[in-house]
Amino acid sequence: GQQLNQSPQSMFIQEGEDVSMNCTSSSIFNTWLWYKQDPGEGPVLLIALYKAGELTSNGRLTAQFGITRKDSFLNISASIPSDVGIYFCAGQTPYGGSQGNLIFGKGTKLSVKP
Amino acid sequence: DTGVSQNPRHKITKRGQNVTFRCDPISEHNRLYWYRQTLGQGPEFLTYFQNEAQLEKSRLLSDRFSAERPKGSFSTLEIQRTEQGDSAMYLCASSLAPRLAGEREQFFGPGTRLTVL
């Protein structure tokens, strides 16, 4: 089945640092979505990408849809304490009967450096 | 608040009992999705509806699970004869039927946390 590899699994940030995470897929996607999830809550949509090569920003967040359509990355610039949480990439396939559902990575957990 | 809502937020039940969760999507959205999330994992797709029609079911959706969306608005997810392995966060999401690229965005509710003792 389709798999999404998301890395890193976890990272520690210091306020002001830039953060980068990425996802790779074994299959082609026509949509990449990036979500943030806080403990006990549902995922909140951050950025949506629809075309290969597309680069989209939302405030301090920037994400890109890879040219091969099998990868995406998310950058957070000048991190602040409220950026802490779990970030998920999710992809949607254009093929066959599974056009509706999203396939999620396992998440990147962002924590504050002690 | 016009986002996706889910009830209850938490449910504790004993093994073997039946449970039912409700999801109210964003009002103009005709697609509704159910996902399950276990600790340390991303959400996994269970099923989705377009209006009242259930269009796809995952292999994760065993015979003990049933979902309905009778009037194309809210949806219910029922688990019969719950097992400890059913303990998870059950998430609902909604979207427009994606005729255009921008309509593929799925918006999630806060989830229902199920604990089976």
Question: pLDDT, tens digit, for every residue of A84-96?
Answer: 999 999 998 775 5
Q: Is B36 exposed, middle or buried (0-12, 13-18, 19+ CB in 10 A)?
A: buried
Does pLDDT of A41 surpass 80? yes
pLDDT for res A98: 53
Q: What is the CA radius of gyration of chain A?
A: 14
Q: What is the mean pLDDT of chain B?
A: 92
Give the span between the Cα atoms of B51 and A105, in whole angstroms: 28
Are B58 and A101 an interchain contact pair (Cβ–Cβ within 8 Å)?
yes
- In chain A, at which residue ranges do the beta strands (DSSP E only) sit? 4-7, 10-13, 19-25, 31-37, 44-49, 55-58, 61-65, 71-76, 85-92, 103-104, 108-112
Q: What whole-number percentage of chain A has pLDDT above 70?
A: 91
Does pLDDT of B101 surpass 80? no
pLDDT for res B90: 98
Give the span between the Cα atoms of B57 and B61, in whole angstroms: 7
**Contacts with B44 from chain A: Cβ below 8 Å:** 104
Chain B residues with a Cβ under 8 Å from any Cβ in chain A? 4, 6, 31, 33, 35, 40-45, 48, 50, 55-56, 58, 91, 93, 98, 101-102, 104-111, 113
| Residue B96: pLDDT band with limits 50, 70, 90 | confident
The count of other CB atoms within 10 Å of the CB of residue A27 is 15
Question: B36 is written with which tokens?
Answer: 């399950």
Give the span between the Cα atoms of B55 and B49, in whole angstroms: 6
**Alpha-carbon distances of A103 from A2, A6, A23, B21, B54, rounded to whole Å:** 8, 12, 11, 23, 19
Give the span between the Cα atoms of B22 and B36, in whole angstroms: 14
Give the span between the Cα atoms of A91 and A105, in whole angstroms: 9
Closest CA to B26 of B8, B1, B56, B48: B1
Size of chain B in residues: 117
